[in-house]
Amino acid sequence: MEAAVIDLLGVLAYGELIAYERLTTDAQLAPSLADKVALGTMANAEFHHFQLLSKHLADRGVDPLEAMGPFVEPLDSFHDSTQPSDWYEGLIKAYVGDGMATDFYREVATYVQDAETRTLIEGVLADTGQASFAVAKVKAIIAEEPSVGGRLALWARRLVGEALIQAQYVAVERDALLELLVGANNLAGITGLLKSITDQHTARMARLGLEA
């Protein structure tokens, strides 16, 4: 498999593994049994995505652990620097941070030539229910306690900055991925890609009733 595709699959696989771990942790903070069940279900879906990506790599002679290796430090750094302080910040992180990452990876996936791999990537990037769950819960708490909205909006802005740094690392520091993007587009196109991601974030925040 070409290096860029291995990188893309590797970062996605590690991202899904982290998502599984984080949702499992968030479930422990859930305020109700129904919330725990919902997050547990989402966590299972994320781990299944991780398994699919790992199998796809292994079936093509690539060690999944080696493919994920280059992305452990930057993704761990992102998550370590954006630890939520409560249940609602965790929901915003899943909705905003993961949403922006998904937008970025979905854009990159459009340049993957292998149809089977591209279909797999599109499948694992599909929403597992986190978006609607987060929107409903966050809108409910803001309706109940309007003052919470300002704090969550500030938290979301911080996440945007950290998420863009992560996206730029993946796009620029990994030569193969950069060549994939530049080869299909150009540097101006990458700037446009990042603007598109930011615009999608603005729309995402509007669905919460918050300013980006």
Task: Give me the CATH number covering residue 186.
Answer: 1.20.1260.10
Q: Cα(166)–Cα(162) distance, rounded to whole angstroms?
A: 6
Residue 210 CB partners (closer than 8 Å, separation 6+):
142, 149, 152, 153, 156
Query: Is 90 exceeded by the pLDDT of residue 48?
Result: yes
Q: Residues 6 or more apart from 41 whose CB is under 8 A from it?
A: 129
Of 163 and 200, the structure prediction assigns the larger pLDDT to 200
The better pLDDT of the pair 54, 207 is held by 54
Whether the per-residue pLDDT at 97 is higher than 90: the answer is no
Quote the tokens at residue 82: 């954006």
66 contact partners, CB below 8 Å, separation of at least 6: 10
Q: What's at 137, amino acid-wise?
A: K
pLDDT at 184 over 70: no
pLDDT score recorded for residue 123: 93
Mean pLDDT of the 86-115 span = 87
82: domain range? 3-208
Number of domains in the chain: 1
- At position 210, the amino acid (one-letter code) is L
pLDDT per position as a tens digit, 126-157: 888 888 899 999 999 999 998 899 999 999 99
Q: Which of 8-17, 72-81, 169-178, 179-188 has the lowest mean pLDDT?
A: 179-188
The span from the CA of 180 to the CA of 159, in Å, is 26
Higher pLDDT, 13 or 160: 13
pTM of the complete model: 0.88
